[in-house]
Amino acid sequence: MTEATPASAPGAGRGRTEVAVGILLRADGAVLLSTRPPGKPCAGYWEFPGGKIEAGETVEQALRRELIEELGVTIGPASVWKITQHDYPHALVRLHWCKVRQWTGEFEMREGQSMAWQQMPPTVTPVLPGAYPVLQWLAEERGQRFAIEEAQRAGGAA
Ligand SMILES: Nc1nc2c([nH]c(=O)n2[C@H]2C[C@H](O)[C@@H](COP(=O)(O)OP(=O)(O)OP(=O)(O)O)O2)c(=O)[nH]1
């Protein structure tokens, strides 16, 4: 789903893409990250699973559809925890972040991605810069520090 942006807003003149993102949380506190498939902008970067919200979908519906398409798992309840925005050269995106604690099915990388369960702070690099604020909040919840500047140095510019 892409919406018009008010003329005074950052990214004015470009559409804004609405994205549903899942923070799949394992009982031991690990979160699931996966790599962006070849052919997409920022291919190879690590991200939380999710994708663009289509017209008429709620965030939860979009997330459920995306995770079946990408990972082959069906998520249980998901509600929005945080909303962030990131301005990439390829798009201005608004990210609707949901914590997900229940899912069914076996993980299957249906788009040729790699996946990794990661404790905070994550050790995989590079991570999409649009995910840094959420990594920071997750680390803070655990009483840890996540240095955005260090992650940026590790990841380079996206
Ligand atoms: N899934 C996901 N997207 C993220 C994260 N952080 C972040 O900035 N993004 C951005 C990257 C993309 O510009 C956008 C997601 O779009 P996408 O291209 O992956 O969506 P999609 O799977 O529906 O792709 P498409 O093939 O239908 O075009 O959100 C993240 O952690 N996870």
Is 125 among the domain residues? no
Is 104 among the domain residues? yes
Beta-strand relationship, 74-75 and 50-52: unpaired
Q: How many domains does the chain have?
A: 1
pLDDT at position 21 over 60:
yes
What confidence tier does 7 reach under pLDDT thresholds 50, 70, 90? very low
Q: What is the CATH number of the domain that holds 56?
A: 3.90.79.10
| Closest by CA position to 22, among listed 92, 85, 71 | 71
Dist. CA 70 → ligand 1 center (Å): 12
- When pLDDT is averaged across residues 57-69 and rounded to a whole number, the result is 98
State how far the Cα of 93 lies from the Cα of 102, in Å rounded to an integer: 26
Q: Which atom of ligand 1 is nearest to the CA of 40?
A: 18
Dist. CA 120 → ligand 1 center (Å): 21
* Enclosing domain of residue 58: 2-119
Is 152 among the domain residues? no
Dist. CA 4 → ligand 1 center (Å): 18
Q: pLDDT per residue over 70-128, tens digit each?
A: 999 999 999 999 999 999 999 999 999 999 999 999 999 999 999 999 999 899 999 99
φ and ψ at residue 71, rounded to 5 degrees: -120, -10
Average pLDDT value for the chain: 90
